[in-house]
């Protein structure tokens, strides 16, 4: 009986340890998925849940005619919300098979990084822990997505 009890305690400790290790990654993935789905589905509540009001988003878009990448400028928190609202109002939702890939790259105590692959291209995001919740603070992106 002691051996069985010891094995159960060890398994429980391992499972708790794994759950604690995976918790930040899950929360980071959730923030990134909310960001992605907020833009895909025009869901402003998901955008608000995933990005900080101090958002700093900047990117490059490849011109079809010249093949040159051009700066697309900055997107603020309010512009992100407005963009999502426009997707919803104009029914410009992402296609059902649009890419939705999230890779957590690094996690520290208060900062993390991730890569998001979306229909428009690649976003590298920096997140900060804000009131025990992971939130996107900065985004650097490039598009269109290379097939």
Percent of the chain with pLDDT over 90: 78
Q: Sheet holding 101-107: strands in order across?
A: 69-75, 51-62, 133-143, 121-130, 111-118, 101-107
pLDDT(8) > 70: no
Extents of the domains making up the chain: 2-143
The CATH number of domain 2-143, selected from 3.10.450.50, 1.10.3720.10, 3.40.1410.10, 3.30.450.20: 3.10.450.50
CA 115-43-110 angle, to 5 degrees, is 40
Query: What are the φ and ψ backbone dihedral angles of 140, each rounded to 5 degrees?
Result: -120, 125
Residue 121: pLDDT band with limits 50, 70, 90: very high
CA nearest to 130, candidates 91, 62, 77:
77
Residue 21: pLDDT band with limits 50, 70, 90: very low
CB 53 within 8 A of CB 135: no
Mean pLDDT of 43-71: 96
Query: What are the φ and ψ backbone dihedral angles of 66, each rounded to 5 degrees?
Result: -90, -20
Percent of the chain with pLDDT over 70: 84
According to the model, what pLDDT value does residue 93 have? 93
């Amino acid at each position: 009986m002691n051996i069985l009890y010891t094995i159960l305690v060890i398994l429980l400790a391992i499972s708790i340890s794994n759950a604690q290790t995976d918790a930040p990654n899950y929360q980071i993935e959730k923030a990134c998925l909310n960001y992605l789905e907020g833009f895909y589905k025009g869901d402003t509540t998901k955008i608000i849940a995933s990005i900080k009001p101090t958002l700093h988003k900047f990117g490059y878009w490849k011109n079809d005619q010249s093949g040159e990448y051009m700066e697309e400028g900055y997107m603020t928190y309010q512009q992100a919300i407005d963009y999502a609202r426009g997707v919803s109002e104009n029914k410009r939702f992402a296609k059902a098979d649009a890419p939705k890939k999230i890779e957590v790259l690094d996690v520290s105590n208060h900062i993390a990084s991730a890569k998001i692959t979306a229909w428009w291209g690649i976003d590298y995001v920096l997140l900060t822990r804000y009131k025990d919740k992971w939130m996107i603070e900065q985004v650097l992106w490039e598009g269109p997505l290379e097939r």
